[in-house]
Amino acid sequence: MSLRSHFVTGRARFGLSPADLIERVVRAAGRGVDIVQVREHDLDDRSLVVLVEQIVVAVNGTATRVLVNDRADVAIAAGAHGVHLRGDSPPASRVRAILPPGFLLGRSVHSFDGIDAAAADGACDYLMFGTVFPSAGKPPGHPVAGLEGLREACRRSPLPVIAIGGIDETRIADIERAGAAGFAAIAMFM
């Protein structure tokens, strides 16, 4: 099994310009990253559309697909390949109703109840489960599921599960053994 890789962007956390971020996206796409999930909360709508358009152009000719975090409108306007919903976003079935055919749709889940609800809704292509390990992007003491939690999430979910939270190269084999379809990371790609 080959795990799917999701590069979740976060340029502000690393003090990067949009051009620096695009450089990292190009490098990741060249190394075979499957998904670039654009998560840039600090940008206004227009700047976000422009950045996503530039990222879509930058990965053209590769197998990498571009998703926009929680902004179906921006994903559609910028020509992205899909959208990734937060755990507290509207039901995926409502979002799916406005998406073009073939758009990829995922959702973050943080509990087994979240997995059950997303599966019952029936509109997601995958679920992103975490936080699996302690992460520099989360405050100290933030709850973590660990490998046992990930294993149970994978067992419970009828959808592919992508692990997120504290992921680095040393944890990939454990994630795969737990049954995850892939992993998502920020720092590992930044």
> What's the mean pLDDT in 160-181?
97
Block residue for tokens 């995922």:
106
- At position 51, the amino acid (one-letter code) is L
- Sequence-ordered strand ranges (E) for the chain: 4-8, 35-38, 65-69, 82-85, 104-109, 126-130, 161-164, 182-185
Query: Treating both helix axes as pointing N-terminal to C-terminal, what angle do 112-121 and 146-156 enclose, rounded to 10 degrees?
Result: 20
Lowest mean pLDDT segment, chosen from 88-92, 94-98, 134-138: 134-138
Q: What is the pLDDT of residues 153-162, one digit of tens each?
A: 999 999 999 9
Q: What is the pLDDT of residues 28-77, one digit of tens each?
A: 999 999 999 999 999 999 999 999 999 999 999 999 999 999 999 999 99
What confidence score (pLDDT) does residue 1 get?
53
Q: Architecture of domain 4-185 in CATH?
A: Alpha-Beta Barrel (3.20)
What confidence score (pLDDT) does residue 14 get?
94
Q: How far apart are CA 122 and CA 90, in angstroms?
A: 13
What is this structure's pTM?
0.95
Q: Where are the domains of the chain?
A: 4-185
185: left (phi over 0), alpha (psi -120 to 50) or beta: beta
